[in-house]
Copies of this chain bind each other. A is one copy, B any other.
Amino acid sequence: MKTKVSIAEKHSLFDERWTPKIIAGLDNYDVKIAKVEGEFVWHKHDEEDEFFLVTKGQLKLELEGRDDVVLGEGELFVVPAGLSHRPVAQPYAEIMMIERKGVINTGDAGHERAVVPEEL
């Protein structure tokens, strides 16, 4: 990472939904962004917490056995390791995530919507 990163500018570079793009690295973690719309799949990451920050729109995080968390712009939540969750954009959101490198978006669910994030 040689220069600063504008989150909004990076979001302007792609249109795919639910396709995380890596915009920076922090030690062994990836900083990623995604455009999300509608429902994702229930999944969990056994060993890794997952950081979500909404930069545009609204994202609901459905959490197994707990109340939903609804994030607006400038709001964040960390899904604890091992907790099943399902992100649902209402109806659309732009988000920033931070996860340990190698974490796959669908976690334990394995799924046709699993993608390996690429650098943007």
Contact = CB atoms under 8 A, between A and B. Distances in A.
Copies of this chain assembled into the complex: 2
Interface string A17-32: 0000001111101010
Q: What secondary structure prevails in chain A residues at the interface with B? A: strand
B76 A24 contact: yes
Contact of A51 (B6, B31, B70, B72): B31
A70 B24 CA distance: 16
Nearest to A23: B76
A49 B75 contact: no
Interface residues of A, number: 31
Interface of A: 1, 3-8, 23-27, 29, 31, 48-49, 51, 55, 69-72, 74-78, 80-81, 98, 100
A70 B5 CA distance: 10
B100 A27 contact: yes
A76 B25 CA distance: 11
12 contacts: A4-B75, A4-B76, A5-B75, A6-B75, A24-B76, A24-B78, A25-B78, A26-B78, A26-B98, A27-B81, A29-B29, A31-B76
